[in-house]
Amino acid sequence: MTGKLRADARRNRERILAAAEAVFAEHGASASTEEVAARAEVAIGTVFRHFPTKNDLLGATLKRLLDRLAEEAAVLSDEGDPATALFTFFAQVVEEAAARRTVAELLAGGGVDVRVGKPLRRLEEPLATLLTRAQQAGTVREDVRLDEVMALLAGTTQAALLTGWTPDLRDRTLRIIFDGCRPGR
Amino acid sequence: MTGKLRADARRNRERILAAAEAVFAEHGASASTEEVAARAEVAIGTVFRHFPTKNDLLGATLKRLLDRLAEEAAVLSDEGDPATALFTFFAQVVEEAAARRTVAELLAGGGVDVRVGKPLRRLEEPLATLLTRAQQAGTVREDVRLDEVMALLAGTTQAALLTGWTPDLRDRTLRIIFDGCRPGR
Amino acid sequence: MTGKLRADARRNRERILAAAEAVFAEHGASASTEEVAARAEVAIGTVFRHFPTKNDLLGATLKRLLDRLAEEAAVLSDEGDPATALFTFFAQVVEEAAARRTVAELLAGGGVDVRVGKPLRRLEEPLATLLTRAQQAGTVREDVRLDEVMALLAGTTQAALLTGWTPDLRDRTLRIIFDGCRPGR
Amino acid sequence: MTGKLRADARRNRERILAAAEAVFAEHGASASTEEVAARAEVAIGTVFRHFPTKNDLLGATLKRLLDRLAEEAAVLSDEGDPATALFTFFAQVVEEAAARRTVAELLAGGGVDVRVGKPLRRLEEPLATLLTRAQQAGTVREDVRLDEVMALLAGTTQAALLTGWTPDLRDRTLRIIFDGCRPGR
DNA sequence: TATGAATGAGCTTTCATTCAT
DNA sequence: TATGAATGAAAGCTCATTCAT
C-alpha cells in the first residue's frame, strides 16, 4: 500500500505521522495541522497531499498506534504467560496512554469524528485471544466478555490522563479492575 | 458571590449556565460560545460579561454539575444504606455521564484547560464519606483509597460515551469494578 | 430589510458593497474577498458577517448594479421618447459595462455560480416595457422578442470588454444591432 | 517549431492540447491544470514542460481553436457563396461556442490574462476576406468594418452561453445582427 | 448592564509551479 | 524526457474576544 510511494514520499509520510503522533500526544487532537507540518519540517501542502483531511491524519495516527499495540498483544499471546498476559497487556496500554494523550483520547472516541470503528477492531482480535487464554487459565471469570474489557481499557486509559496519576495510583486502580475480573467472589 | 448582582443579571447568569450545560452536553466542550448564547436567548456580549473566557464558562458549568452530584452524594450519605451507597452513587454518576457528554469530558480533564482541580475537590469530600462508610460496613476493602475510586469513576464515565455502551454492558462493567472493591480475594 | 441593522452595521454593509463593486469591476469576479475587505477598510470577518459566502457577496453586488440599471430604465420609460428609449437604455448599459467589468461578467453568467436568475429578472420587466413602447412607436419590428434583446445586451456588454473597444467601435457595433431591430427590410 | 521535438514528445503535446480543449470546454478556463493532465493521462510535470504556464496552455488551446475556425473560414472563402459566406461562418462560430465554453470565453478575453491579441489576429484575415466578398456581393453595407464584426462575433458567442439559449433564440438573435448588416435602411 | 457588530488570528484546503528522481 | 511529490502562497471561512452603541 505504501510500497508504491517514492522513497522521499514514504520518508515524508513517516515524518508526518511521527510528528502528528508527537503533536497530538502533547496538545490533544485539537492541535493544528500546521503545527504538525512544522514539526515534520514539511510544507503544509505536503501534509494534505498525504492526508487530504485533518480527520484522515488523525485516523492514520490512531491506526498506527493501535497497530503497535495490537502487535504487542500478539507477542504476549505467543510468548507470555496465559494466566497474566491479559493483565500485562492492559497495564501496558494504560502506561502508554499516560505518556501519549492521543491513545486515550482516541480509544475513548475522542470528540473528533474519526471513524475509530475500523482501527479499534484491530485491537479486538488480539485482546479476545488474551481474554480466552486467561479464562482457560482460570485467572478471569468465565462470564467476562470482550466488550467490558475494552470499555474498562478505554476508561482506565482516560483516567491515566488525570492530573494526579502516579505509578502508585495506577497500581491501585488496576488492582481493583484485575481483582474484579478474577473468579470466586 | 452572586448575591451582589442585579436581579436581571443573576437571572441571565442562570440562563447562560443552563444553556451551556445543555449545549456542551450535546456537542461537547468544543461547541461554540455563540451557540450557548443563542440557546440562552442572550447576546454573545452578555455571555462574556458573566464569563470573561470560554474556559470560565466551562469551569462554571462543571462546578454546577459537580455541586449537583455532591449534593446527591450527601443525600445518599445521610439516607442511604452505607453498605451500598458508594456503589449506588458511582452508578448514578456513570448514568448521568452517558446522558451528558460534559460530565464525562470534564471529569476526565476534557482536553480543555479547565482547572478542574478546584471543582473536582467538591466531589472528594462526600465521596470520601461514602467510601469510609462502605469500608466500615465491610463492602469495600480497607486499603482502597479515595483517589483510585475517583480515577475509576472518571474512567468509567468516559467509557459510558463509547458507541456500543448499553445498559447491559454498563452492568457488566460496573460489576467488575464493584467486585474488585470487595474484600476477601 | 436592512432597516433593522445598527447604524454602523448598515454603514459597513454599504462600504463593503461599494468596495466590492469597485474591486470586482477592476479585477473581475475572481478578485479576492480579502481585497474587498481591505478596500472597504474593514476586517475580513466583517465581510463574512454580512455576506456569509463569496457568492452572496457577488450576488448582492450584482443585485445592486441591476437595481440601478432597472431604475434608469424606469426613468426612461416615464420620461424618455418611446421611439428611442430602448436604444438609449441599451447604449447606457453597454457604456457602463465598458467601465465596470462586473456588469458584463455577471450579465453573461460569469463563470461564477451566482444565481443570476433572480436578479436578472429585475431587468426584464423594465426592458419589456421599453421594448413594447418602441414597437408601438414603430421603431422596432413587431416580431422582436424580449429574450433576443436581452441576449444581444448581454453579448454586447461582453464585447465592450474587448481590448480594442473605443467609442467609435461602440457606435458602429450598436448601429448594426439597432438597424437590425428596425422594421421594413 | 514542433518539428524538433522527439516523436513521443510531440505525441504528448498533442494529447495535452486535446485534453485541455475538452476540459476547458467543459469547466471553463478556471479548470485546474491537474485535471487536464489527468485527462491527457500524463503527469502534471509533463504539462508544464510543454506549457510553462497555465496561461501558455490556455493560449495554445485558443490558438488551436482559432486555427480551426480560420481554416473553415478559408474554405468558405474559396467554395462558398460570397453573398452568404460571412453569415454562414458567423453562425458556425456561434454554434461551436454554444458547445464549447472556451471558444466564447476566450474570444471575449475570458477573465484570464491570455494575450489573445496574437491568436485572434489569425481570425481577422479570413474574416476580412469574407467581409469584403459580402460587401462586393452587396449583402453587407459598405461602411461596416472588420472590428465591429469581430465585436459582434465575440459578443454573440458569449450570449450563446446564456442559460436560455435555444436554436430558436439563436436564429432570432442572428437575424437582427445580419439584418443590421444589410444595406438599404 | 445588555447588545450584537467588528476584529483578526488561525484553520483547512486548493492549485500553479518547481524540482528531485 | 517523463514522473509525480513537494512547495507555499493564497483563498474562503470560523470563532473567541473586544468594544461602540
Contact (CB<8Å) C154/D154: no
* B67-91 tens-digit pLDDT: 888 999 999 999 989 999 999 999 9
Residue closest to E2 C1′ by Cα: B46
Q: Which residues make Cβ contacts (< 8 Å) with residue C103, sequence separation at least 6?
A: C25, C65, C69, C93, C96, C97, C157
- For strand F, which nucleotides have at least one atom less than 7 Å from a protein CB? 1-21
Residue B28 has pLDDT above 60, yes or no: yes
Residue C28 main-chain phi, psi, to 5 deg: 80, 175
**Distance, CA of D25 to CA of D51 (rounded, Å):** 18
Structural contact between residues B160 and B69, judged by C-beta atoms closer than 8 angstroms: no
- Gyration radius (Cα) of chain C, Å: 18
Residue C100 has pLDDT above 90, yes or no: no
Helical ranges in chain A per DSSP H = 7-27, 33-40, 44-50, 54-79, 82-99, 101-107, 117-136, 146-159, 167-181
Residue D29 has what pLDDT? 84
Q: Does D112 touch chain C (CB under 8 A)?
A: no
Residue A123 has what pLDDT? 85
Chains that touch D (3 or more CB pairs under 8 A): C
Candidates B47, B1, B3; CA nearest to B24 is B47
Residue B5 has what pLDDT? 64
* Shortest Cα–Cα distance, C82 to chain D (Å): 20
Residue C113 has pLDDT above 90, yes or no: no
At least 3 CB pairs under 8 A between chains D and A: no
Residue B137 has pLDDT above 90, yes or no: yes
Residue A136 has what pLDDT? 96
Residue closest to E1 C1′ by Cα: B9
Contact (CB<8Å) C158/D108: yes
* Shortest Cα–Cα distance, A3 to chain B (Å): 34
pLDDT tens sequence for chain D (185 residues): 445 667 788 889 999 999 999 999 888 888 999 999 999 999 999 999 999 999 999 989 988 888 899 999 999 999 989 999 999 999 999 998 888 877 777 666 544 455 445 566 778 889 999 999 999 999 999 999 999 999 999 899 888 887 788 999 999 999 999 999 999 85
Angle of CA points B171, B173, B175, to nearest 5°? 65
Residue C111 has pLDDT above 60, yes or no: no
In chain D, the domains with their CATH numbers are 1-52 (1.10.10.60), 59-181 (1.10.357.10)
pLDDT tens sequence for chain A (185 residues): 445 667 788 899 999 999 999 998 888 888 999 999 999 999 999 999 999 989 899 889 888 888 888 999 999 999 989 999 999 999 999 998 887 776 666 666 544 444 445 566 778 889 999 999 999 999 999 999 999 999 999 889 888 887 788 999 999 999 999 999 999 85
**Residue with the larger pLDDT of the pair B105 and C39:** C39
> In A, which residues are within 8 Å of B159 by CB distance?
108, 151-152, 154-155, 158
Residue C81 has what pLDDT? 94
Q: Does D9 touch chain C (CB under 8 A)?
A: no
> In A, which residues are within 8 Å of B165 by CB distance?
151
**Distance, CA of A107 to CA of A150 (rounded, Å):** 9
Candidates D70, D106, D105, D94; CA nearest to D156 is D94
